[in-house]
Amino acid sequence: METKKEIEEQKEYIKKVKEINQNKNQKYNILTMGCQLNENDSEKLCGMLEEMGYTKTENQNEADIALFNTCCVRENAEDKLFGKLGELKKIKEQKGTIIAIGGCMMQEKHITNKIKESYPYTDIIFGTHTLHKFPEDLYKAIKEKKRQEDILDIDGKIYEDLPIKRNSNIKASVTIMNGCNNFCSYCIVPYVRGRERSREPKAIIEEVKEIAKQGYKEITLLGQNVNSYLRIEKEKNIEFEQYKEVNSFATLLKEINKIEGIERIRFVSPHPKDFTDDVIEAIATCDKVCKLIHLPLQSGNTKVLKEMNRKYTKEQYLNLVEKMKAKIPNLTLSTDIIVGFPGETDEEFEDTLDVVKKVKFEQVYMFIYSRRVGTPGDKMENQIQEETKHKRFDKLKALVESQIEENNQKYVGTTQKVLVEGTSKNNEEMLTGRTDSNKVVIFEGSKNLIGNIIDLKITSEHMWYLKGKLFLGTEEKNSF
């Protein structure tokens, strides 16, 4: 109830800013860094900005508000932010651009201190727990003409009913939980996003129903650790009034699978240690749940996994994969891998290559270990030299690419169900879509197909995409 009142208050600020903006043709630009959760937060920021009378521009130089939604999972985002802030100084002097920075990086004291010292012309700094207060912060920045700093160190609550402007009208993301309690020793997320807390089933289901009504075909459920959905609430004996049968991630999947109109359900990211049998069974039996599962590995070596605080061994990961493959027909897997974690030896790194060879992932997101201030990994003394990290990265990349090439071959000649997403970025004449296993397929066809799931025959493979063609007559359709 309390949160509802807080959102009502923000809606009043939205009205006030809208009044200020009347007939002024105000524009905003937003730069989003990082993961899909951040993208989803940005959609909420865009929703608020549009209700306040701003329209979006892709050109930061012509924007009246330049907004940054930051990520701090790896180091490179910091350099990017500071570079952009430097560039904006002159533009701000000329046209008074309001500069607002939010997101994970703003939960780090050393970063906000640097912004205040080196980029004092920044107008608004807000964190992950105060995103819903952006209208108030903006109103005050305009009225009081002084910097607003709105950062909470304690865990934020869950706020429903924020305006939202989604990036696509075919695929939508739905955040089901915030925060993380796992404290993997390399990861900053638990420090900047706070403790794990799940959204109420009713709020999620109503959001998905609304999305389905608007004509969306695919949804992605988001959380740092989706398969422990409602775990903390259960431990605390918190019960929700409606949808009592939804009491876990598996039961949530089953309930969402019933929603008419939605044709594909994806989710990121689950944790291997929480991949219980009921989740495997739900994936196998829910026809709409895509059979590509993202299962972050991080390392294939048991000792490194222990140091990473991942709570599974190489063998447990491989056994889980075997179990999943046995129970879920046509299962494909993608993963995240970090190379060069402190103390990782060449031999231990070989275990990672071994798991990659055995599992044959559909896609691998590869990262070079990046020291994050405040994490246990940063305090470890046996940091790996940059050169070694890069060598290992290149070795992994070469293996992954050769496997992807080999794996792509299996698609050629098959029929795939493809959700058509739009025209290809590189060629307006061609359409682009994705298979159930998230492979990009480029093909020739009428724009009326956009937004539909259609059958395509795969004619060739090209490393990062497949080429396909429409069925014209009575050709035979072969799936795998």
Q: Nearer to ligand 5AD by C-beta: 46 or 187? A: 187
272 binds, among ligand SF4, ligand 5AD, none (CB under 5 to 8 A by kind): none
Q: Nearer to ligand 5AD by C-beta: 186 or 349? A: 186
Range list of β-strands (E), 140-240:
148-150, 171-175, 177-178, 197-198, 218-222
Q: Among residues 17, 48, 72, 73, which is the contact residue for ligand 5AD, using CB under 6 A?
A: 73
Binding-site size for ligand 5AD (CB under 6 A) equals 13
Regarding 190 and contact with ligand SF4 (CB under 6 A), the answer is yes
Instruction: Name the minimum Å distance from CB 334 to ligand 5AD.
Output: 11
Q: Among residues 121, 183, 464, 471, which is the contact residue for ligand SF4, using CB under 6 A?
A: 183
Instruction: Name the minimum Å distance from CB 261 to ligand 5AD.
Output: 30
Token couple for 480: 């795998």
Token couple for 219: 């949804």
Regarding 298 and contact with ligand 5AD (CB under 6 A), the answer is yes
State how far the Cα of 210 lies from the Cα of 437, in Å rounded to an integer: 25
Contact characters 17-36, ligand 5AD, x per CB under 6 A? ------------------x-
Residues 269 to 288: which contact ligand SF4 by CB under 6 A? 271
Token couple for 283: 């994936």
Q: Nearer to ligand SF4 by C-beta: 224 or 432? A: 224
Instruction: Name the minimum Å distance from CB 367 to ligand SF4.
Output: 11
State the amino acid at position 21 in one-letter form. Answer: N
Sorted by sequence, the CB contacts under 8 Å of residue 144 that are 6+ apart come out as none
Q: Nearer to ligand SF4 by C-beta: 189 or 293? A: 189
Regarding 186 and contact with ligand 5AD (CB under 6 A), the answer is yes
Q: What is the DSSP string of 300-316?
A: S-HHHHHHTT----HHH
183 binds, among ligand SF4, ligand 5AD, none (CB under 5 to 8 A by kind): ligand SF4
49 binds, among ligand 5AD, ligand SF4, none (CB under 5 to 8 A by kind): none
Q: Is 4 exposed, middle or buried (0-12, 13-18, 19+ CB in 10 A)?
A: exposed
Sorted by sequence, the CB contacts under 8 Å of residue 471 that are 6+ apart come out as 415, 455, 456, 457, 477
State how far the Cα of 316 lies from the Cα of 275, in Å rounded to an integer: 11
Regarding 480 and contact with ligand SF4 (CB under 6 A), the answer is no
Regarding 304 and contact with ligand 5AD (CB under 6 A), the answer is no
Q: Which helix (H) or strand (E) holds 460?
A: strand 453-462
Q: Nearer to ligand 5AD by C-beta: 35 or 430? A: 35
Sign of dihedral through CA atoms 224, 204, 228, 366? Answer: negative
Going from the C-alpha of 130 to that of each of 10, 36, 66, 138, 264, the distances in angstroms are 11, 18, 18, 12, 32
State how far the Cα of 318 lies from the Cα of 291, in Å rounded to an integer: 18
Interface region with ligand 5AD, contact rule CB under 6 A, candidates 5-13, 246-254, 365-373, 442-450: 365-373
Q: Which helix (H) or strand (E) holds 441?
A: strand 440-444
Q: Among residues 296, 342, 433, 468, which is the contact residue for ligand 5AD, using CB under 6 A?
A: 296
Instruction: Name the minimum Å distance from CB 211 to ligand SF4.
Output: 25
Regarding 189 and contact with ligand SF4 (CB under 6 A), the answer is yes
Residues 366 to 405: which contact ligand 5AD by CB under 6 A? 367, 369-370, 372
370 binds, among ligand SF4, ligand 5AD, none (CB under 5 to 8 A by kind): ligand 5AD
State how far the Cα of 22 lies from the Cα of 325, in Å rounded to an integer: 57
464 binds, among ligand SF4, ligand 5AD, none (CB under 5 to 8 A by kind): none
Q: What is the DSSP string of 11-77?
A: HHHHHHHHHHHTTS--EEEEEE-SSHHHHHHHHHHHHHHHHTT-EE-S-GGG-SEEEEEE--SSTHH
3-state secondary structure of 444: strand
Q: Among residues 42, 60, 224, 435, which is the contact residue for ligand SF4, using CB under 6 A?
A: 224
Q: Nearer to ligand 5AD by C-beta: 264 or 372? A: 372
Regarding 225 and contact with ligand SF4 (CB under 6 A), the answer is yes
**HSE, side-chain direction, 13 A CA sphere, residue 11:** 11
Q: What pairing do the DSSP bridges indicate for beta strands 430-435 and 332-339?
A: unpaired
Regarding 443 and contact with ligand 5AD (CB under 6 A), the answer is no
Regarding 60 and contact with ligand 5AD (CB under 6 A), the answer is no
CA-based end-to-end distance of the chain: 51
Residues that bind ligand SF4 (CB under 6 A): 180, 182-184, 187, 189-190, 224-225, 271
Q: Return residues touching ligand 5AD (CB under 6 A).
A: 35, 73-74, 186-187, 296, 298, 336, 338, 367, 369-370, 372
